[in-house]
């Protein structure tokens, strides 16, 4: 080894050791309850747009964003710093006067991809232990490694009985594309006319942004400008009569989310999934489950379909499967393996070592840490909290809904949900909007014992007393932003106090 290579490796090892020590320190502080939201007070100035406030008060983030200004788009105008993030607390590159990183509380788990939060030791350890594999570029079904084979064995073990076949990909859209292709090809191979037929999907659905998944998506805002996308018929979600009317000999399958995430966190009505199973079975068509957002324990079961004791023929997985590392999978019943013979689909980086190592760690935690029981318990706590907020302000909040740790507070029409979200961002809390009026809560799963112990306290309502409001110590500064949407702010006072 040359002297230059030796110096390079030693420098890399020094940085790696320092990074690991910092991860350990962050997790100790987090579990001790000492990590908190930390944003500049001036960021809560409701008189000015958040982009202007970032330019003035978060100069490091502003400079980084300006350097990347030719990128197509971004939403929150800050630059995150993963080296200082832990659990649901996402650090940014800007520091406060004391040198500590500013931090946001992410109640969206990076769009539901961070199963256990940032810098989760199980994921970090798995990646490091697999370093000889991760440093290579082996991928694709033609270049199997022991890691990708172990992942397939784990999926076989943890997936519902009767679904032993799987194909590893990189994203949720790719998993949905595979599911659709397998179902259409199955009809080509089994129907007298040799035609693929079409898929029944639902209004309000979201299945991805590639063209096949986009065709199945039931929201025009995602499809406008992309021309007619054939092969899918959409019917109202939860309407069994509409589904029955759409069924016919040309229907290859029904694609459904057990909880419509982007559609507004809308759970399937009781019995709806069971009826879909019965309809497809009697018609000789197939049932496809999009569990990209709801799977991997998000609702308290490995798959949300399991709450209804329903088994789909094909399941699409992604998001939390990699614990923050991009990976997806299509899981299907054995008889469908002939519908996607070798070469009918490929994925250049599907099952790559880094993604496989991370996914193995996620599945190991799901199997061995008693996590799903915790998700059910904490999900009930979150649901009760949101329900109390809704009952307190019935003129502003239409309802709450969800399952497990996928919940929503649905604001009434006329309440500007985007302004609410922006004010939460200015106060250090990150949420997403779904279905136009739903504030979506999908916090990390594994670390919930820590944030729930801190936030879901019995006397939560006392923390929003008039004295605290006057002192300005709650999340919203009413004097600064009430003039913009005072009633909406009041609606979320207690909720924000809990998050704080």
Span of 14-28, 123-137, 413-427, 443-457 with lowest mean pLDDT? 443-457
pLDDT of residue 2: 67
- Where in the chain do CATH 3.90.1150.10 domains reside? 3-120+372-499
**Is there a catalytic annotation at residue 319?**
yes
pLDDT of residue 86: 95
Tokens of 202: 């639902």
Q: What is the mean pLDDT of residues 86-97?
A: 96
pLDDT of residue 481: 25
* Mutual angle of helices 146-158 and 353-368, in 10-degree steps: 30
Mean pLDDT is highest, among 92-106, 224-238, 456-470, for 92-106
Question: What share of the chain has pLDDT > 90, as a percent?
Answer: 53
Q: 108-117 pLDDT, tens per residue?
A: 999 999 999 9
Question: What share of the chain has pLDDT > 70, as a percent?
Answer: 86
Question: Please, what's the b/e burial string for 347-382 (b: 16 or more CB within 10 A of its CB; e: otherwise)?
Answer: bebbbbbbbbbbbbbbbebbeeeebbebbbebbeeb
Q: Is pLDDT larger for residue 245 or for residue 424? A: 245
Judge whether 88 and 117 are in contact, CB under 8 Å: yes
For the chain, state the CA radius of gyration. 24
pLDDT of residue 5: 66
- Where in the chain do CATH 3.40.640.10 domains reside? 122-368
Helix, coil or strand: residue 354? helix
Q: What is the mean pLDDT of residues 358-378?
A: 88
Judge whether 258 and 268 are in contact, CB under 8 Å: yes
pLDDT of residue 163: 64
Q: 92-106 pLDDT, tens per residue?
A: 999 999 999 999 999
Q: 236-275 pLDDT, tens per residue?
A: 999 999 999 999 999 999 999 999 999 999 999 999 999 9
For residue 118, what are the CA distances in angstroms to 75, 366, 445, 446, 447?
A: 20, 17, 11, 11, 10
pLDDT of residue 477: 29
Judge whether 388 and 416 are in contact, CB under 8 Å: no
pLDDT of residue 412: 93
Q: 314-336 pLDDT, tens per residue?
A: 999 999 999 999 999 999 988 88
Judge whether 205 and 258 are in contact, CB under 8 Å: no
Q: What is the phi-psi region of residue 297: left when phi exceeds 0, alpha when psi lies from -120 to 50, beta otherwise? A: left
Judge whether 442 and 419 are in contact, CB under 8 Å: no
Tokens of 143: 């270049």
Judge whether 107 and 425 are in contact, CB under 8 Å: no
For residue 417, what are the CA distances in angstroms to 44, 109, 489?
A: 17, 20, 11
User: Among residues 362, 448, 367, which one has the least CA distance to residue 404?
Assistant: 448
User: Among residues 334, 338, 297, which one has the least CA distance to residue 314?
Assistant: 334
CA–CA separation, 407 and 448 (whole Å): 14
What's the pLDDT band for 419 if we cut at 50, 70, 90? confident
Decide yes or no: CATH 3.90.1150.10 for domain 3-120+372-499: yes
CATH class of 122-368: alpha beta
pLDDT of residue 484: 31
Choose the catalytic residue: 301, 319, 333, 493: 319
Tokens of 305: 């379909």
**Is there a catalytic annotation at residue 206?**
yes
Choose the catalytic residue: 118, 290, 308, 313: 290
Mean pLDDT is highest, among 193-197, 211-215, 286-290, for 286-290
Name the β-bridge partners of 286: 253
pLDDT at 478 over 70: no
- Burial class for 210, CB neighbours closer than 10 Å (0-12, 13-18, 19+): middle
Judge whether 158 and 228 are in contact, CB under 8 Å: no
Choose the catalytic residue: 133, 198, 206, 393: 206
**Is there a catalytic annotation at residue 349?**
no
256 sits in which H/E element: strand 251-256
CA–CA separation, 82 and 92 (whole Å): 8
pLDDT of residue 262: 95
Place of tokens 């300005």: 472
């Amino acid at each position: 080894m040359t002297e230059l290579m030796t110096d390079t490796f030693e420098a890399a090892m020094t940085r790696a050791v320092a990074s690991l020590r910092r991860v350990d320190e962050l997790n100790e502080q987090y579990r001790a309850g000492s990590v908190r939201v930390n944003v500049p007070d001036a960021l809560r100035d409701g008189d000015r747009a958040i982009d202007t406030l970032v330019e003035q008060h978060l100069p490091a983030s502003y400079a980084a964003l300006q350097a990347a200004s030719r990128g197509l788009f971004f939403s929150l105008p800050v630059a995150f710093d993963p080296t200082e993030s832990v659990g649901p607390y996402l650090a940014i590159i800007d520091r406060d006067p004391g040198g500590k990183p500013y931090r946001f509380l992410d109640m969206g788990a990076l769009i539901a991809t961070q199963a256990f939060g940032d810098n989760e030791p199980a994921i970090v350890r798995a990646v490091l232990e697999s370093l000889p594999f991760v440093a290579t570029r082996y991928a694709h079904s033609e270049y199997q490694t022991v890691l990708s084979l172990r992942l397939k064995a784990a999926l076989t073990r943890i997936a519902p009985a009767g679904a032993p076949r799987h194909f590893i990909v990189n994203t949720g859209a790719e998993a949905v594309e595979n599911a659709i292709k397998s179902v259409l090809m199955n009809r080509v191979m089994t129907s007298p006319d040799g035609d693929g037929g079409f898929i029944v999907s639902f209004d309000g659905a979201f299945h991805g942004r590639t063209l096949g998944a986009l065709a199945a998506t039931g929201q025009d805002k995602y499809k406008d400008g992309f021309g007619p996308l054939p092969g899918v018929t959409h019917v109202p979600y939860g309407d069994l009569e509409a589904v029955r009317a759409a069924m016919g000999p040309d229907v290859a399958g029904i694609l459904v989310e057990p909880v419509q995430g982007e559609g507004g966190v809308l759970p399937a009505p009781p019995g709806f999934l069971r009826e879909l199973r019965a309809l497809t079975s009697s018609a000789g068509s197939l049932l496809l489950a999009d569990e990209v957002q709801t799977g991997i324990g998000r609702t308290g079961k490995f798959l949300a379909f399991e709450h209804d004791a329903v088994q789909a023929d094909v399941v699409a997985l992604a998001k939390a499967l990699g614990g923050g590392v991009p990976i997806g999978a299509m899981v299907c019943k054995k008889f469908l393996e002939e519908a996607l013979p070798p070469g009918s689909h490929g994925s250049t980086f599907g099952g790559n070592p880094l993604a496989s190592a991370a996914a193995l760690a996620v599945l190991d935690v799901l199997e061995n840490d008693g996590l799903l029981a915790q998700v059910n318990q904490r999900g009930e706590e979150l649901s009760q909290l949101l329900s109390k907020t809704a009952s307190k302000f019935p003129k502003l909040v239409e309802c709450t809904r969800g399952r497990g740790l996928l919940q929503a507070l649905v604001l009434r029409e006329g309440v500007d949900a985007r302004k609410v979200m922006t004010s939460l961002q200015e106060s250090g809390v990150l949420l997403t909007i779904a279905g136009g009026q739903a504030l979506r809560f999908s916090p990390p799963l594994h670390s919930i014992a820590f944030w729930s112990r801190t936030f879901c306290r019995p006397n939560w309502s006392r923390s929003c007393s008039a004295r605290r409001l006057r002192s300005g110590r709650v999340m919203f500064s009413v004097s600064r932003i009430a003039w913009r949407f005072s009633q909406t702010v009041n609606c979320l006072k207690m909720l924000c106090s809990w998050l704080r």
